Amino acid sequence: MVTSTDRQEEKDGLEGPLPVPTPLLVTTWLKPHEEEPWEDLCPGMEESVRRLRLQDLLSEDSEGDDEDAKEISECFMVNPVHEAFLTGKAVRSEINLKDLAPDERKLFDAAMAKEWDSWMKFSAVEVLSPEQVEQLPGDTPVFGTRWVHVDKNKKVRMMAGGIKGKTKKTSEQIAKEYPLVAKSRIVVQGNQEEETGIRSHSPTASLLGFNLVCSVAVMKRWEVRAYDASTAYLQAKGISRLLVLRPPRPPPPGVSQHDLLRAKGSIYGTKDAGRSWWIKLFKEAVKEGWVSSKIEPAMFFLYNDSKDLTGIMVTHVDDLFVAGEGEKYEQSMKKLTVELHLKENKGSFRFCGKNIKQDDNFNISLDQNNAIEAVEYQVITKDRRVKPNSPLHD
């Protein structure tokens, strides 16, 4: 718990792993009292590397590149790119429509219609006419899409079932308390697309950044809030390459299985979807007066006309965690809420797996009880427990 009474006793560092510094920052991190020697050894090198990093944030052929690079001229890209694989746990969370009862299928039919309405609302794709299909180059690749169906209450229902011995609730009571909540999403099968020339990296805030927001909020007695962007990846406008898609099965309302779709943005499943969304988020934040951190691009500061800090924010994909006060801060958040279609949470809420609660004295309590309960336990038989040195197996 971070409290206002013990903030004077806090150590210089916050708990949690520090972000790994880039080579240019190693000297500064280890010996902050010494000057950076790069400029003496190779004049212009530091500025050149910074410029290359900034150019890597934005697509070379996107509109307003020079202006965008100027806007983020103090940012550093410190997050390396990693490959990600779909795990068995993620696969098991999906729902097959064939396994559903008729009443459950109706819920997912409505969820699919809602998802397609979001695609149309943000003009994520256009259905190509026969004439447009005829004009496509002969070697144009066509990529598949698929539905991903999940029950948003499945995890909490499983957790409630795991402790029903303590709560004395029956399975029927748990099912009634946490009914099926259908969620359907159309995802581009981005694994079919070649990676050459597609930049996909985008910054996310570190644990240190999150802890800093909490500490500043307690010291300044600011209210913390979390915002979640609705259908974030569909909001990113513009795509520099021709991306032709096949509709998923079953096709969305009003679309034939034989139609072709042209993507008008970097939508779910494409390799640069996260990056395109972050660029939109960055531009909107800067437009409202937020300044990106020189060390951590996914952290932003807001200053009033007197140059006093009036807001602090970190972002993690489509989730925002902010604190602040004053008219400029409130107005900026109202505009971002409209432009980015944000949903607000405050008081007691979850952010990136953490349960956050702020009391009337602006003290903040954190826990991850939900994450702990969600850990899958491995059942070990009695005969195996007495042989701890035996080789591991499935």
Where is pLDDT greater, at 343 or 60? 343
- Give backbone dihedrals phi and psi of 359, rounded to 5 degrees, phi first: -90, -175
Mean pLDDT of 263-273: 76
pLDDT-derived band at 345 (thresholds 50, 70, 90) equals confident
Burial category of 343 from C-beta neighbours within 10 Å (exposed 0-12, middle 13-18, buried 19 and up): exposed
The pLDDT value given to residue 52: 58
pLDDT score recorded for residue 348:
86
Report the distance separating Cα 185 and Cα 233, nearest Å: 11
Q: Of 206-215, 262-271, 349-358, which has the strongest mean pLDDT?
A: 206-215
The answer to which of 61-65, 252-256, 319-323 has the lowest mean pLDDT is 61-65
Give the number of residues written for the chain: 394
Tell me the domain boundaries of the chain. 7-20+78-373, 21-77
- Rounded to 10 deg, the angle between the 273-287 and 327-339 helix axes is 150
**37 falls in which pLDDT band (50, 70, 90)?**
very low
Average pLDDT over all residues of the chain: 75
Per-residue pLDDT of 274-287, as tens digits, reads 787 888 889 889 99
- pLDDT-derived band of residue 83, with 50, 70 and 90 as boundaries? very low
Query: What's the pTM?
Result: 0.59
Percent of the chain with pLDDT over 90: 21
Q: Is 277 helix (H, G, I), strand (E, B) or coil?
A: helix
The pLDDT confidence band at residue 45, using thresholds 50, 70 and 90, is low
Distances (CA, A) of 135 to 79, 139, 178: 41, 12, 51
Is the model's pLDDT at 3 over the cut of 60?
A: no
Q: What's the N-to-C CA distance of the chain in angstroms? A: 40
- Given a cut of 60, is residue 66 above it in pLDDT? no
Q: What is the C-alpha separation between 296 and 316, in angstroms, rounded?
A: 12
C-alpha pair distances (Å), 245 with each of 86, 114, 182, 282: 22, 20, 25, 28
Highest mean pLDDT among 19-28, 171-180, 212-221: 212-221
pLDDT band for position 80 (50/70/90)?
very low
Per-residue CA distances from 317 to 38, 312, 314, 341 (Å): 33, 17, 10, 14
pLDDT digits (tens, 9 = 90+) for 133-148: 888 888 888 888 899 9
Find the mean pLDDT for residues 83-95: 54
Question: Rounded mean pLDDT of 150-156?
Answer: 84
